[in-house]
Chains A and B, each alone.
Chain A
Amino acid sequence: MSILRRYIVCMLLVALALPSLAAETWLVDANNTGQPYRWPGGHITWFAEEGGFATLSAEEVTTLVRQAFAVWEKAGIKTPSSSVIGVSTAQVSSALGGKIVPVARPSAPGPAIETDSVLEHVEAKSRTIVIFDNHGEFQSNPSVAAETYMGLVNDSSMTIHSAVAVINGQSTIVKNAKDLSDPTDPSRQKLLATLIHELGHMYNLDHSVLNDEIVESSQSFDLAPNAIPTMYPDIGTPLQHKLHKDDVVAISNLYPNAAYLEQFCEIAGQVIGTDGKGYQGAHIVARPTFAEDEHLGAISAVSGNQFVENTADGTYVLRGILPGRPYQVSFSEVPSRFVNFSSVGRYGDDYSTKGELPRSGFGSGVITANGGTMSQVLCSEPGQTVVMDTIQLDVAAGGVDPKTVLLPGTVPVVPVQPTEPTTPTTPAAAGGCTLMIPRG
């Protein structure tokens, strides 16, 4: 089979087989193993343009990208025994592979990458590149900060081998910046937050709408700016350049190290619909009820998020739970403004041929445990799984069926596979496929 033919066939297979989008993981196994796609060894080698961005020099741009990668590489969670210093929980790394020579644009300031060469870099050379799009050649919408596209993926090994992040030089963040070189400049911090967000997509993270109710009620990000995850779909506050615990748990779920697996617990459960089948798409949140801030310590998921649609799997797992500390678990709808557009959970894809699932009208409430007798839960020892009562959503009636069913130990929890350094395999050698999927 020629390379071109294999490329086309693979594109078709990927397009049909990987439509699932999840709150924490973007691409998941089409064979419903619940496993996500990952970078081999959690490592990304990236290339940057040999040029500057807006008022930033090439060196400053490279430093900024390094800084953004480092945020994910240092991601960690505070443990009960180390209230000040957290433990690193994610196993990811990065390295600058080299520079890409941009094309001069005499008519406008700043360098620009030749659009045709992107294909060569990403597909033929399996390179991951960060494009600082000075001229809006890929994205010129002033209200879009950036987009990320997956490049080469391997369906056999479920690994990612290349990607493209496009940072929009025409965005209002860049255009309104006072001094992008100043680390204290809010625009610089928003640019950094944007980069961290896009690199999160590169690592295969989806969006999170945790604590959206704060934005919803206040119409702004100012009420509790540090409560908004970096992987929130919108860039609303400079403080999004600091990872929320929800972001840390998301990256740690994909690339866990030993500490993550040994020192924390998980909360699991399932959501079913009126028909008794699993419901994919309920927003599930575990909030601490002890001294830790209920917003800062919260963790979210979307039911069924590890599985492709129409598999009627409504399970969820909330990891990174602190042992010995009480949590309250609740469910709600994904906010309507993030349905059908902003790619939260599995409802963000307007190309899907999947059947329409009931996605609203069930309101919100607390999920209990132990047959409705416990409104708060805790695990006593690290490594334990707390199983919540199954909730049945009466979507058709617009309310919640009071029936809750205790199913101890029956929720199939997908095990977390520890990340181990591996020798990257080339997609071509393993019969790989090309996939281009954008994520804002």
Chain B
Amino acid sequence: MVIPSSLDDLTEHADLIVMGTVTARETAAEPFKLGGHIAMSTYTLSVSEVLKNTTSATVEANKPFVFRQKGGPLPAGFKKPIMRRVSAVTYENGENVLLFLIRQGTGDVWSPVGLSQGKFTVETAPDGSQRVLNGAQNKYLFPPQPPVTPGKSAAVVSKGTAAYAASSNGAIDLDIIRDDVRVKSPMKGGAQ
């Protein structure tokens, strides 16, 4: 059961916020501690930008970041018994993504915060701008603001809220997310 997460939640809980292009993926079955086997995928991300990194892992722009994550499509004809994991988030080769990742332990296994909520696909709009959409269709990113109380001035509508409201499919400009993350969780020494 998943907990709806706002952009603030995603930013706060992520150990690593990174953008890039998936260049390789491989899936294999591994024994799972609750029984049977589980599919484990190894992804290579060609990193274009690091917005947050609170871990000891070395993740830098213009360098590949190799990470493992539960789930993924096993090769056709694979006969080894597996445990099916229905809530796994997967990535396609060539997919441009913005990831809010949480580290599982101290190794190389990671998971998106809030599962599909922590994975944004990045697409270029006809006007050349980059727009992002997460697995929850950005639904919970910007919680609705409370109604205006008589006698009090209305709260300022955030850029994200306005952009989401104006979007036909929920996708919003990447810069809105990027700026928000930088304000809420500034990188030491600036973003890479």
Contacts and interface: CB of A to CB of B under 8 A. Distances in A.
Contact of B3 (A172, A349, A435, A439): A172
B136 A21 contact: no
Nearest to B77: A353
Most buried by B among A151, A234, A343: A234
Given A116-B33, A234-B3, A235-B2, A11 B81 contact: yes
Contacts of A12: 79-81
Contacts of A141: 102, 111, 113-115
Contacts of A216: 139
Contacts of A351: 39, 71, 73-74, 82, 84-85
Contact of A164 (B34, B76, B137): B34
Given A142-B102, A351-B74, A337 B3 contact: no
Contacts of A164: 34
Interface residues of A, number: 58
B66 interface: no
B83 A234 contact: no
Interface in A310-360: 336-337, 341-343, 348-351, 353
Contacts of A235: 1-4
Contacts of A236: 4
B144 A218 contact: yes
B23 interface: no
B86 A122 contact: no
B3 to A, nearest CB: 5
A434 interface: yes
A371 B32 CA distance: 53
Given A219-B143, A351-B74, A140 B104 contact: yes
A40 interface: no
Contacts of A219: 139-140, 142-144
A300 interface: no
6 contacts: A119-B33, A197-B1, A342-B116, A350-B71, A351-B84, A440-B1
Interface of A: 8, 11-12, 14-15, 19, 21, 115-116, 118-119, 122-123, 138, 140-147, 149, 151, 164, 171-173, 194, 197-198, 215-216, 218-221, 233-236, 336-337, 341-343, 348-351, 353, 434-440
Given A144-B1, A438-B86, 11 more contacts: A8-B81, A15-B81, A142-B9, A142-B113, A145-B2, A146-B1, A149-B83, A233-B1, A436-B34, A436-B36, A439-B87
Interface of B: 1-5, 9-10, 13, 32-37, 39, 71-74, 76, 79-90, 102, 104, 111, 113-118, 135-137, 139-140, 142-144
6 nearest A-B residue pairs (beta carbon): A143-B114, A11-B81, A343-B86, A436-B35, A436-B83, A145-B1
